[in-house]
Amino acid sequence: MTQLSSMENTSELIVSDAMSHPTDQTTLPPPPYWLMRFALWFRIGFACFLLLGCLLGLTGCVDRALALNGEPLQWADAHQTTPLVLQRAFDDLTIAPQEEQQNLPVLASTVRGQQGQVIVFNFSKVPQLCGAAGCLFAAYVQIPEVAPPALNDDVPKSYQLVWTQYLRSPLPKGMPLLFQYNPPNQPDESFPTLVANQAEENRIRQLVFSWSGRYYQLEKTALNDSY
């Protein structure tokens, strides 16, 4: 009994001592003031860097990629330069009587590619072919009526309509409405790429039309703030 009582007393002393002296936890000192200020300014600077990168990615790169330039189309009286193709265009695009067609002021421009020439018609002075979307522009190319294994000049060719687009003419002074563009990675195009400039408020939208093999199609379009 004496030994058991002694053990109980010893256990009580151990428990009492543990309760009166709880385990100490190590507390780290706060970082110095200069380090906290450095961390704050680092976070602010990093956030500004990310914001600037996003802005450059959304605007700067687009402007550089879309500021296309080329050889402006030269316009002349279509009745004098391309009367036969103009008659085809009248048949395809207008319902004006033939006696009135001779008085319609139509302009034409001819551009050349590896496979032949493209004749672009400008109907911006024909009220019947203008509206809220702008005035009609159209392009014709010479297509062989029968494609032989080896194309030669003896094969009959006919002009076919390959592009139509309504365009608005008002533009800043010196800026061409349409121009021929030769992409640097496509020097041997069958027919040249056509680019149209269109004003939208204080910016210029460039419409890029490329030859698909059978007709012109819209390849890309985007706004350019620094033409």
| Helices and strands per DSSP (H, E), number in the chain | 6, 11
Residue 146, domain member (yes or no): yes
Residue 153, domain member (yes or no): yes
Residue 7, domain member (yes or no): no
**Does the reported pTM lie above 0.85?**
no
Tell me which residue range forms the domain holding 218. Answer: 71-224
Across the chain, the runs of DSSP E, i.e. the strands, are 71-72, 76-77, 107-112, 117-122, 130-131, 134-144, 157-167, 178-181, 193-200, 203-211, 216-224
Residue 32, domain member (yes or no): no
Residue 22, domain member (yes or no): no
Query: Can you give the pLDDT of all 227 residues of the chain as single tens digits?
Result: 444 444 444 444 444 444 444 444 556 666 676 566 666 665 666 565 555 544 444 333 333 344 678 899 999 999 999 999 999 999 999 888 888 998 999 999 999 888 888 999 999 999 999 999 999 999 999 876 655 555 555 545 689 999 999 999 888 888 999 999 877 766 556 888 999 999 988 889 999 999 998 899 999 998 877 55
Give me the number of domains the chain comprises.
1
Residue 43, domain member (yes or no): no
Residue 50, domain member (yes or no): no
3-state SS record for 74-112: CCEEHHHHCHHHHHHHHHHHCCCCHHHHCCCCCEEEEEE
The alpha carbon dihedral of 174, 178, 210, 55 has a sign of positive
Distances (CA, A) of 165 to 79, 149, 196, 202: 21, 34, 10, 22
pLDDT given at position 126: 94
